[in-house]
Amino acid sequence: MANLMQPYDPINLDQVKFAYNGSRDTLKEMLPYFYNDLENIIPNVNVSARVVAGIVKCVLLGEQKFTQKFGGWQPLSNEFGIAPLRPCHVHLPDNRWRWTSGASTSLFWSASDNFVGPFTVSNHAIIMIYGYFNLEPIPNTLELYFQPGSDKLPIWSVVPMRLSKQRYICLPKPIIIEPNSAINIKASCAVVSTVEEMGLLGFYFAGKSRLITEQITD
């Protein structure tokens, strides 16, 4: 395990070309936080590094799309920052992550229920998804179907979570949804009409005014 008292930087941020002075320093300062926070979810530091690599990619993309410096968790009014992904960021109506299946079973995708979306991410934001969690004692959700933008990713089985009694999974590669891009996530379920406390692990990148907004409306 890496010594997290010092910034763990397998990516070597000094070799990354940032567009704005200060973005690198802000990101370096946050590295210990990211790895300590992820350590509670992802014991494997190599998997954590993959998530942090996705964060770096989002920061570079944000510099380009927002033409602003990255200000971390406490950005100034002329900077963009980062916050944990909240349900409202993906247009869910509750502050609590949850999914309600439809009246008909979606086993074998005979009917599919939308978990997130479809909606188009604002031109003021970037969304990164690196995992999924389900807090139900015995989850009924079987599979997820991620559709970021025009891309349709292979259907992902979450049944292994039941076998290993895990509450979360990490995707092999973080999904990044750029500004003005669509996102839709569907779920299949083994029973008719159920409510599950499940959600997404990820981060939201946007200007300060959006990071402190209680409810996203666009």
CATH at 132: 2.60.120
How many separate domains does the chain show? 2
Return all residues near 179 (Cβ < 8 A) that are at least 6 apart.
Answer: 65, 121, 122, 123, 124, 125, 126
Pick the last residue of a domain from 83, 109, 139. 83
How remote is the C-alpha of 188 from its chain's centroid? 20
- No. of H helices and E strands in the chain? 4, 11
Query: Could you tell me if 102 and 41 lie in one domain?
Result: no
Query: Could you tell me if 185 and 91 lie in one domain?
Result: yes
Query: Could you tell me if 126 and 189 lie in one domain?
Result: yes
Query: Could you tell me if 122 and 145 lie in one domain?
Result: yes
Pick the last residue of a domain from 24, 51, 83. 83
Is 113 a domain residue? yes
Query: Could you tell me if 96 and 71 lie in one domain?
Result: no
Query: Domain limits at 197?
Result: 86-202
pLDDT given for residue 164 in this prediction: 73
CB atoms within 10 A of CB 125: 23
Query: Could you tell me if 112 and 21 lie in one domain?
Result: no
Answering whether pTM is above 0.85, one says: yes
Is 215 a domain residue? no
Burial of 137 (0-12, 13-18, 19+ CB in 10 A): exposed
Per-residue pLDDT of the chain (218 residues; tens, 9 = 90+): 333 344 445 678 888 999 999 999 999 999 888 877 777 777 666 778 889 999 999 999 999 999 999 999 999 999 999 999 999 999 998 899 998 877 666 677 776 688 998 999 999 999 999 999 999 988 888 899 999 988 999 999 998 887 777 888 889 899 999 999 999 999 988 777 788 999 999 999 999 999 998 887 67
Pick the last residue of a domain from 83, 118, 141. 83
Is 195 a domain residue? yes
Query: Could you tell me if 90 and 196 lie in one domain?
Result: yes
Query: Could you tell me if 48 and 26 lie in one domain?
Result: yes
pLDDT given for residue 94 in this prediction: 87
Is 4 a domain residue? no
